[in-house]
Amino acid sequence: MKLLHVLNNEAISPPPVWLMRQAGRYLPEYRAVRGQAGDFISLCLNPELATEVTLQPIRRYGFDAAILFSDILILPMALGQGLRFAEGEGPLLPPLQNTTGLNIAAAPDVYAPVLETVRRVRAALPPETALIGFAGGPATVACYMLDGKGGGEFPRTRALAYENPALVQSVLDILAAATITYLQGQITAGANCVMLFESWAGIFPAPQFRQFVIEPNRRIVAALKSANPGIKIIGFPRLCGLLLGEYVRETGVDAVSLDTVTDPAAAIAACPPGTVFQGNLDPLLLKSGGAALETGVTRLLQAFRGIPHVFNLGHGITPEVPPENIARLMELIRNNAMPA
């Protein structure tokens, strides 16, 4: 598996490719399956349909890895917090007032269909194609649980970090423990590596970033590596800026996924030797296509020449991307092989 070779610190040209949100609304075949499911949560918890949408982009484009089709908020739902997706509003949860209603022991029964999807996808994938399991990072998931919705700067979470830090820490502790069990379940079911999405890491000032992002991520990485020697873990501390190198050093992740605004040269300089990088093409280039896409791909390949790199985006594919532009992206990467 090319992806695992790179995660083991091997520079490969052309690099392995997968894209965040590669299974999704830009594909007509996804929209067809989504219509069968009834609603988004039902799709995530239906192993047959979730397996199908996970495999769709592999069949169409031949990516080097599939990523489990699910959502980072399946875990808080499994813990007992209500979750629904409102049209045009995104996820909605009742904002947590305390942690008394959260039940770690009951969670595996709720997310069991997700683990079944992992088993089915791994069995259906070509042997050379890696399967990536994932979870939301505790800080990011806590933002949704405390604010009750996304789509902003999570003002309640940020206020509680100062006004009731004990509540925030309690939520993070529960999430860290539950995430370890959840990701271990995915690894046992057949995931070849896992990824932590700290999509909202960048909203916290440095002291809180260390406490809320780095420390729970470190605990998760240490537990999974202790139980699974050799497992590779990718971290995505989006918009963490100058704290990127500290995140990599302190958490122990094997690879770090870079957001769109991070300069590759600066990331390489900030991170310890042996860091594997992933990302960070601007998703807007997939919408634009043409010369802009070609230039962006070439620059990114050159930036990581000789360095272990997984080609990806700085954030997820947007729904309006023409599928043919993804095909062009793959062509550009495959035809830009250069000596490592």
Q: Which residues are known to be catalytic? A: 21, 25, 34, 71, 144
Strand order in the sheet with 276-278: 65-67, 130-136, 193-198, 232-237, 255-257, 276-278, 309-310
165-189 and 107-124 are packed helices; what angle lies between their axes, rounded to 10 degrees? 40
**Around Cβ 58, how many Cβ atoms within 10 Å?**
21
Q: Regarding beta strands 193-198 and 65-67, do their DSSP bridges make them parallel or antiparallel, or are they unpaired?
A: unpaired
Q: Does residue 152 contact residue 202 with C-beta atoms inside 8 Å? A: no
Per DSSP, the three-state class of 207 is helix
User: Where would I find the H helices in the chain?
Assistant: 2-7, 28-37, 40-44, 47-61, 74-79, 107-124, 138-147, 155-163, 165-189, 206-208, 215-227, 244-251, 264-270, 284-288, 290-303, 323-334
Residue type, 63: F
Tokens of 157: 């979470």
